[in-house]
Amino acid sequence: MDGPDDDDLNDPLIPEPPHPINWNLLTAEEAEVEWLELNRWVDWLRHTYGLPASVIPPAWHLHPELVWELSALHLHWLCAYDPEQNGSAPLGWHRDFVDARMRLRDWVAASGTRLDRDRPTRRAVWPGEEPGGPIEDTPIVDRDAEFVEFVLADVQRRRDVEDAFYASLDRDTGELP
């Protein structure tokens, strides 16, 4: 098998109980760990279940709708396979996995991402909003390298926001001005 072993998933990057991930609230350091953990699990999932790019495309990380769905599915899997869980929990996960695969197919079809190319998800422009620019396909040349670049950029963006926040605090009181 070309994918990661099951044993890889038993050694999480952060040793703590499973918990929901709110991608909007993660610090730079938290985001880096969560991206790597989710990527590792998604890679395992696609190999283990032989999932096509129409369910999990290589550039899933560029589409928030796919990130949120896969993140929720990952949490559900972690909880279902927790040693303290009821013995029928994995069966519940597999039942829910059927529904999740249908939603993933819908998200992938709507986004336009494919095996060898990606484009931003099209968004409906509401009356009064500025229309978006043209949507261009971008070839996916080296998925792993592109994922690393994406994570580094996301971590830096979060770090910049954190630095700006701390720089805005009053040096004497630590409060916002």
Sign, CA torsion 78/80/85/87: negative
- For the chain, the distance separating the N- and C-terminal CA atoms, rounded to the nearest angstrom, is 57
pLDDT of amino acid 165: 86
Q: What is the DSSP letter of 121?
A: P
Please state at what angle helix 64-80 crosses helix 89-111, rounded to 10 degrees.
170
Total-model pTM: 0.85
Which helix (H) or strand (E) covers residue 35, if one does?
A: helix 28-48
Q: How far is CA 135 from CA 110, 117, 120, in A?
A: 13, 12, 7
7 band by pLDDT with thresholds 50, 70 and 90: low
- Mean pLDDT over 99-124 rounds to 94
- Mean pLDDT over 10-36 rounds to 85
175 band by pLDDT with thresholds 50, 70 and 90: confident
Contact 56, 115 (CB under 8 A): no
142 band by pLDDT with thresholds 50, 70 and 90: very high
- With a cut of 50, say whether residue 1 has pLDDT above it: no
- Lookup: tokens for 47: 């190999």
- Mean pLDDT over 27-33 rounds to 96
